[in-house]
Chain A
Amino acid sequence: MHYLIIGNSIAAAAVIEGIRSQDPEGAITVVGEERQACYARPLISYLLQGKTDEEKMRYRDQAFFDKHKVTVLCETRASHLDAGTKTVALDDGTTLTYDKLVLATGSSPFIPPMEGLGQVKHRFTFLTLDDALALQQVVKGDSRVLILGAGLIGLKCAEGLFGQVRSITVVDLAPRILASILDEKGSAQVQEHLQQKGLTFHLSDRVKEFTANEALLESGTIVGFDMLVVAVGVKPNTSLAKEAGLAVNRGIVVDTSMRTSGKDIWAAGDCAEAEELVSGQHKVLPLLCNAYLQGETAGKDMAGLTEPFNQAIAMNAISFFGLHVITAGLYEGEEKLFAEEGSYKRLFVRDNHLIGYILIGKAVERAGIYTALIRNQTALDTIDFDLISRQPALMAFAKSVRQQQLGGSV
């Protein structure tokens, strides 16, 4: 048995753990484009900040690969997949055959065409460790940074650079920051927090034209900069799958066992498109915990244990300069709002179920209790919803449920 994993990030590590929980012997090969093996990708902004280093960023260390007897090929790109012959061609000219394959190819930054972009000398994206290291190379105390995209990546990049540069300006087409995860009030609160720190925002705006050190915005504003970071979005890496004729929408379509439409081919992580629990629709959910859970599910399934993973929901935990934001699910249905000084909470309820939440500041405490309500699709009339909506607490559950939670096997 030869398991082949294309991609060497979180999903890949989880696939390995999933396989090895069932099959201690089968050969495993991991092929990764990057120089570094399996690091904690979301930590690149913390690396800029100096809160971590390359060593600490390792998601799984060499001992992990040794222990699980995994052959790791770094800086190697899989260039072609032939599902018929079960072979994968690598860019070094060699070909690997597999019995079972996982595509954990992740995603790539999306760079929209912009006039004059070619003239910009210090131009970056912010998705990989090498991206961060490259940024670090050119950062100077008097640098003016322009970031395109006020989403999670762009703002984490801003936080990472903060304090090391002269100024940071963020431009986004959307009228508010973090539009994909926050509501208007939440966005405003976080934006105010970031502005207080000294970040400058140009929202509902876009770059019309670049010169070497200036961006002319549609609104007419001219932003001078020394470094440009493009963080407007990511797109799943699906070219191998497409070539092999697998079903691909935005991402590689998979079922609840992470099986693709191709025989003996699974997909997991940011490249995959699986069913989201609350909406029931297939979605790409580029989130670390999702990558892990999908990878683990795929790994187990490949090795013979089918444990469907159908609890995927969108969720994010993110912080900017000590202000924590946790969100999950969908923002539809009836809502309950709790807002006070330093704390913002919005819960979304539909058909007797919690389907989403937005928590900012102090309200993030014990957020996982809400997450579990969404994931477990707990009927709200079986708990004291009034109590739990004020404060996430096990107190809100029936005594018998609590006895199981705190006194039973886990």
Chain B
Amino acid sequence: MAINYLYPDFEVQRNESRCITCRVCERQCANLVHHYDAETGRMTSDESLCVNCHRCVSLCPTRALKIVKTDHVFKENANWRGEVIQDIYRQAETGGVLLASMGTPKPYPVYWDKMLINASQVTNPSIDPLREPMETTTFLGKKSTTIRRDEQGKLITDTTPQLKLAIPIMFSAMSYGSISYNAHKSLALAAEQLGTFYNTGEGGLHEDFYRHGKNTIVQVASGRFGVHPGYLNAGAAIEIKMGQGAKPGIGGHLPGSKIGQDISKTRMIPLHSDAISPAPHHDIYSIEDLRQLVYALKEATNYTKPVIVKVAAVHNISAIASGIARSGADIIAIDGFRGGTGAAPARIRDNVGIPIELALASVDERLRAEGIRNQVSLVVGGSIRSSADVIKAIALGADAIYIATSALIALGCHLCRTCHSGKCNWGIATQNPELVKRLNPEIGSEHLVNLLTAWNHEIKEMMGGMGINSIEALKGNRLMLRGIGLCDAELRILGISHAGA
């Protein structure tokens, strides 16, 4: 056997005094880490196969297992760190692009953690959300810039199509293919219960889920998978996917091995053929081209549904957003570079794009400056991790939030970042029926509903503290934010003062 340069990242530690050899670890590990040795009557493990997904740890009835980081090291080197060296070994051996999943793990600044939220004291009263009304309902879509009245002087309230969200949080695009049937079902059920929306991603809509259409955003991406008039009309809104935060500028590739019967049918592509999403939309080379697609989709749905254009947060995002706002889109969705993915080249995920906080602040600022902020709603995503992140995003100018990684975590994801292996032990990022089964949508949707219900409570609590009683009044209210440990350039882009100022 050739030399193996790679030492396992983890160690499986089994507390022998607690292990009852029930073998649940062995049965539940799709990576085949654990084995029962009949001769010794003991469990053994091969940690080189371990992805640290915690399935075994979570199911071990006696808490006999834990996974720890190996203390095996390379000689210390601040520049040539172990991970850098190992990546070179991997590529030297395989000659391939390094694949990665979920959001970048690199230690980039998280601006959410460098902003602080205001609260009322003395001169302006705070509000107790348990005693007083607190509005978290949000409408997404074009807003009129003028007040119009009819001949009798009554307000004219008709608008272009809007999305009504009971809470300002939606589940962002994850395709059926990248995630499982049961994960999709969990999202659909939860969106329905919560009065919000989930997003099909680019993989089409499974026929079983058409019944959840009024809580579904259907996506049209460069591969046009599963797009047909019935699909476009099935959802409450249509999203054109131009880019994704984790892999701006490139397309996607769902290997043929994952294109089983159901997915083939849903995506309208041959069984076991690779599903390749081109990097660009081949019919979009300008804002004018985009406008054509926006209106083509509106025509196809008889102007009954708002159209969202989703882009990745990149360097000149504000100009791009300005163009989109003029394309006829009703909603712009911006995905920050910390956003997740089912599979992306690691170098792109870890190096391309910009943080959502900065993108959001500059887009909101630019659209306001151009006087077109009302023409579009802004939805942002790309690692929103808590209700505090939601508050901060809205105060920076977002109308609503997209979450995906948080939702997957609620479904059991442990962020082992090996979605691309297709062997998700939690039944989320897999098409293996034996693994898909592990996610019971009844439990999944309950967890999602719990999570967002909890966040909504916290949002109301924090808004009340600020003396604000509606999302509407928080929107773009940057006075409610202060920076902490940020330099002048960062503060300027975020449009906020430093704490204490």
**When A and B assemble into the complex, do they touch directly, with CB atoms less than 8 Å apart?**
no
Q: Which residues of A contact B (CB under 8 A)?
A: none
